[in-house]
Amino acid sequence: MSTIRIGQGYDIHPLKEGRALILGGITIPHSRGLDGHSDADALTHAVCDALLGAMGEGDLGTRYPASNSAYKNLSSLLMLENVVQTLMEKNYGLVNLDTVICAQAPKLSPYMKVMQESLVRVLQVESHQVNVKVKSGEGIGMIGREEGIAVLAVCLIQSLNS
């Protein structure tokens, strides 16, 4: 009997001058980037948390605490590679992943496909298993005021044991 598990992830970071904007491992041209201890890639962080949650493996902040200087400016794709390794060790496979990036600016729709491809490569799945969407803040709240970017992610994993 196979086991199917769902996980959800969420991350939010403020935008700050002097930082690169990285989402899904892709550097996106913008006057500000996300501020955080690592590269602050909110998309990849939310994906990691969704996968960790589905596996019952805690959260990204526990694995990579901001209090540890070894993780300063660490690529979030390396974190995701580690999470994928755990997924494989626990003999789970990703069924699908769905994400929503909440950002007023910059316009991210031109980068959705390349962000998806970056995640697909690290997750070692087919492109139809990963979806990246973008929603604006409609001028409301910190997202609408262009103060930060938030990301939601949900995934379904299935045990590979038959």
pLDDT(162) > 60: no
Q: In what order do the strands lie in the sheet with 4-17?
A: 32-34, 4-17, 148-159, 92-102, 130-135
pLDDT(68) > 90: no
CB proximity list for 34: less than 8 A, separation 6 or greater: 13, 14, 15, 16, 19, 21, 22, 23, 40, 41, 42, 148, 149
Furthest CA-CA distance within the chain:
51
- Cite the beta strand spans of the chain per DSSP E: 4-17, 21-23, 26-28, 32-34, 92-102, 130-135, 148-159
User: Are the CB atoms for 6 and 155 separated by under 8 Å?
Assistant: yes
pLDDT(1) > 90: no
Q: What is the pTM of this model?
A: 0.96
Per cent of the chain over pLDDT 90 is 91
132-159: average pLDDT: 96
Cα(3)–Cα(158) distance, integer angstroms: 6
Residue 69 CB burial class (10 angstroms; 0-12, 13-18, ≥19): exposed
133-150: average pLDDT: 95
Which CATH number is 4-159's, of 3.20.20.70, 3.30.365.10, 3.30.1330.50, 3.30.9.10?
Answer: 3.30.1330.50
Per cent of the chain over pLDDT 70 is 98
pLDDT(11) > 80: yes
Count the Cβ atoms, other than its own, within 10 Å of residue 2: 10
- Hey, what amino acid is at 126? E
Q: According to the model, what pLDDT value does residue 2 have?
A: 64
16-21: average pLDDT: 96
